Amino acid sequence: MSTGASDGRYLRSSGIPTYGVQGFFGERDDVRSHGRDERMLVQSFYEGQTFLYEIVKKLSTQQR
């Protein structure tokens, strides 16, 4: 949903700032989303999963 629709529009229309983070990164010119040869390296998948977990954990903990 990084470049498509998002539920964030409802939050933004209510005045709540909303941001999106993909977490899974690839080559800029290697566009294969929903194609016959859509693929991702296994290592990239796990790195993206760890990135998303860490960012959610950091953003959801109380900062002092």
Tens of pLDDT, residue by residue over 9-54, are 888 899 988 887 877 777 777 777 666 767 777 888 899 899 999 9
Residue 3 has a pLDDT of 55
**Residue whose C-alpha is closest to residue 27's, from 7, 16, 41, 10:** 41
Residue 50 has a pLDDT of 94
Q: Which tokens is 29 given? A: 């010119």
Residues 6+ positions from 55 with CB-CB distance below 8 Å: 21, 23
With contact defined as beta carbons under 8 Å apart, do 36 and 57 qualify?
Answer: no
**Rg of the chain over all Cα atoms, to the nearest angstrom:** 15
